[in-house]
Amino acid sequence: MPQAPLTPLDIESRRFHRELFGYRRREVDRVLRAAADALSAANLRCEELERRVAELEKEVEGFHQRERTLLHALASSERLVEERKAQAQREAERILADARRQAEQVLSRARAEVTRVEQQILRLKVERETFENRLLNLLDEHRRLIEVRRQESGLQARSPLPPPLAGGEGATRVEES
């Protein structure tokens, strides 16, 4: 059976039996008083330390709670950052896809415009060549008519008519008299 802890009162109230050549009572009482005082101081210190330990344990628990809160906040922040990064990545990809699609539309319209302009240039070249050929034919026809008129009227021209134009633009220049 375990013994109960020794208290200062136990020491002070403890009485020893006397024997013939026993200890001096005053000396024993003084030692017992000193031991009781020391034990009392030790018990007070122990109680103080136990209170301090309880306070520190409470403080440590507060720190643990703060740590858990901070870790939770950190984890939430990291998740939020990752979500935002993923969202920004998706947005950037969408913007790039839109920009590529718009660029392709602009290029397609530009190509179509180039094709239209090239076709218009080709058509205008054909029209110019047709016009030039018709003009040359008209000039040739007028030259023949003038020659016929001269022959019919019997007039000899002061200067002969230039030869008919052959081959197109600027082949022969009509001289003025």
Please indicate, yes or no, whether the overall pTM of this predicted structure exceeds 0.85: no
Report pLDDT for 142: 94
| Token output for 26 | 């005053």
Phi/psi at 5 (5° precision)? -60, 145
Structural domain boundaries in the chain: 8-153
- Give residue-wise pLDDT tens across range 114-129: 999 999 999 999 999 9
Q: CA–CA distance from 57 to each of 50, 54, 60, 68, 95 (Å)?
A: 10, 5, 5, 16, 56
Distance CA 87, CA 138 (A): 75
Phi/psi at 176 (5° precision)? -90, 150
Report pLDDT for 36: 84
Report whether pLDDT(167) > 60. Answer: no
- Give residue-wise pLDDT tens across range 70-84: 999 999 999 999 999
When mean pLDDT is compared across 10-19, 35-44, 63-72, 125-134, the lowest value belongs to: 10-19
| Token output for 105 | 């539309």
Distance CA 161, CA 174 (A): 8
Decide if 136 contacts 165 (C-beta within 8 A). Answer: yes
Give the list of residues 6+ apart from residue 166 with CB closer than 8 angstroms, or none.
172
- Give residue-wise pLDDT tens across range 24-63: 777 777 878 888 888 888 889 999 999 999 999 999 999 9
